[in-house]
């Protein structure tokens, strides 16, 4: 049954009080115009500025009803013909005893005389006495057909205003419309208008701007971090096996109707500084989709229930950005069992996350990273939560040489001027982050002489650095030994 059929059924059933939370008032009006065509009821709209006005027929002059809440409710009570009344931003006025009493009497009428009142607003909180009498109805977001209509309407409006034809790439326009799914009508209209007025054209180059704008609208809480330009990470050194795994699954993940079960996620364990974050970006780059990072530290709130609410809202926003990769950084810090110290919040967060991971329908590929496997809940590690568990180990000699070349080039130093295999040998036990910092140290050591660092300077910097594999030898060795027979190497 469609959304309009649902509303029509509620009106025919004389449902006295509906609540619709939305900012898209015009969409509400259009929906009820269709509804009354089936139920043959008069349709009225109330606003504080215009008072009560009839929408389905022209209202005769001199029959205007004042915007005063009590006068409006009195007029509704006196109306003999059962009608549908859309009351926009009326709920703040229900704090007055007279308004509340009148509305309750209208709502509690016998079915044969019952009107249908619809409270419409961005966020509606009702007095407890009225909440029990109300039915909250979710208003579906525009579908592909409606969004395509918005794009065509804005394109036509621009052409009339500018007096020239809008350049439109048909394939790109269809892609843009698909990526508008999940937005309200007003939000979609604003983004389309921005893209059109930016350069007088709609093409593939507009997609990154659309995705960033969409993310900003969906992430008003600031719980997520967005990065679209992930393609450059597709060939990160040291994760060759992970890259090959992603490449084999790319077509299935992006296929709207895949023949195989689409991939759902991976867990990346590893030594600190060895490139788990880069591997997460490489995953998004391999799929060619945006990367959205969720930091559990921003979820937790001191108020009861707010943490779980934050997680629900964050995951709902991520689904609207699909297809995408969701990167949960240092997941053990948000899900590590704290006993009863946190009032059970971490257990409830874990339960909701596991349920979402199992039941989500949107194409969201989850990449979770962790440093301390002993702090991860057993429920998260069992087979089926993730497609695979990869271990990002200390880089091999070949990977270390590649890391040296990458960071030297980034700092405008010619890798060909260095003996990279020798540097790889000298940096045995170093992580990628530690190699980078050794290069930075060599740059500082030679800064006073005005001469760029050479092979000897880099070797001295490496000799003066004590890597984590030495400082925390026991913990690192324990982790590597645990992962040797339980995980798949990322390289």
CATH superfamily of 231-236+243-392: P-loop containing nucleotide triphosphate hydrolases (3.40.50.300)
pLDDT of residue 112: 60
103 CB-near residues (< 8 Å, 6+ apart): 17, 73, 94, 117, 130
- Choosing among 3.10.360, 3.30.310, 2.60.40, 1.10.8, the CATH entry for 397-471 is 1.10.8
Domains 3-136 and 144-218 share a fold: no
pLDDT at position 1, please?
42
Q: Tell me what the mean pLDDT of segment 38-47 comes to.
A: 87
CATH class of the 144-218 domain in this structure: mainly alpha
Residues forming beta bridges with residue 84, ordered by sequence position:
43, 116
Check: CB of residue 364 under 8 Å from CB of residue 318. yes
Residue 59 has pLDDT above 70, yes or no: no
Distance between CA atoms of 321 and 228, rounded to whole angstroms? 11
pTM of the model: 0.73
Tokens of 405: 């070349």
Average pLDDT over residues 342-349: 75
Beta-bridge partners for 118: 18, 86
Beta strands 224-227 and 291-295 are antiparallel
What are the domain boundaries of the chain? 3-136, 144-218, 231-236+243-392, 397-471
Which has the closest alpha carbon to 372: 271, 469, 467, 298?
271
Classify residue 179 by its DSSP letter. H
Question: Any idea which architecture 3-136 has in CATH?
Answer: 3-Layer(aba) Sandwich (3.40)
pLDDT in tens, 415-447: 999 999 999 999 999 998 899 999 999 999 888
pLDDT at 121: 93
């Amino acid at each position: 049954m469609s959304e309009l059929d649902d509303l029509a059924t509620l009106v025919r059933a004389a449902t006295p009080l509906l609540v619709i939370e939305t900012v898209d008032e015009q969409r509400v009006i259009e929906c009820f115009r269709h509804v009354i065509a089936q139920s043959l009821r008069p349709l009225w709209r109330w606003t504080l500025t215009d008072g009560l006005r009839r929408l389905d027929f022209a209202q005769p002059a001199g029959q205007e009803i004042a915007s005063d809440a009590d006068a409006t409710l009195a007029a509704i009570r006196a109306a003999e013909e059962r009608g549908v009344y859309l009351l926009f931003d009326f709920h703040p006025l229900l704090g007055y005893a007279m308004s509340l009493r009148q509305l309750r009497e209208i709502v509690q009428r016998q079915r044969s005389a019952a009107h249908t009142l619809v409270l419409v607003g961005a966020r509606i909180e009702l007095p407890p006495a009225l909440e029990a009498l109300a039915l909250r109805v979710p208003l579906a977001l525009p579908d592909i057909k409606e969004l395509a209509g918005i794009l065509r309407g804005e394109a036509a409006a621009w052409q009339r205003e500018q007096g020239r034809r809008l350049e439109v790439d048909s394939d790109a326009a269809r892609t843009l419309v698909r990526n508008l799914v999940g937005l309200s009508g007003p939000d979609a209209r604003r983004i389309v208008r921005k893209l059109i007025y930016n350069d007088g054209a709609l093409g593939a180059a507009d997609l990154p701007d659309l995705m960033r704008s969409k993310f900003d609208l969906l992430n008003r809480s600031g719980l997520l971090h967005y990065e679209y330009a992930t393609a450059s990470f597709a060939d990160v050194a040291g994760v060759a096996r992970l890259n090959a795994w992603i490449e084999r699954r790319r077509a299935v993940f992006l296929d709207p109707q895949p023949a195989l079960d689409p991939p759902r996620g991976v867990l990346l364990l590893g030594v600190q500084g060895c490139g788990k974050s880069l591997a997460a970006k490489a995953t998004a780059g391999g799929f060619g989709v945006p990367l959205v990072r969720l930091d559990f530290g921003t979820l937790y709130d001191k108020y009861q229930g707010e943490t779980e609410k934050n997680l629900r809202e964050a995951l709902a926003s991520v689904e609207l950005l699909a297809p995408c990769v969701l990167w949960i950084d240092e997941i053990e810090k948000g899900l590590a069992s704290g006993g009863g110290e946190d009032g059970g919040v971490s257990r409830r967060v874990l339960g909701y996350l596991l349920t979402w991971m199992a039941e989500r329908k949107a194409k969201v590929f989850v990449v979770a990273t962790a440093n301390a496997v002993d702090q991860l809940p057993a429920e998260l590690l069992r087979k089926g939560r993730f497609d695979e568990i990869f271990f990002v180990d200390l880089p091999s000699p070949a990977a270390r040489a590649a890391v040296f070349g990458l960071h030297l080039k980034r700092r405008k130093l010619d890798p060909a001027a260095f003996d990279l295999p020798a540097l790889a040998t000298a940096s045995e036990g170093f992580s990628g982050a530690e190699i980078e910092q050794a290069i930075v140290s060599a740059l500082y050591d030679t800064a006073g002489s005005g001469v760029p660092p050479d092979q000897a300077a880099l070797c001295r910097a490496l000799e003066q650095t004590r890597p984590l594999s030495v400082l925390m030898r026991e913990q690192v060795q324990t982790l590597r030994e645990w992962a040797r027979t339980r995980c798949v190497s990322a390289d």
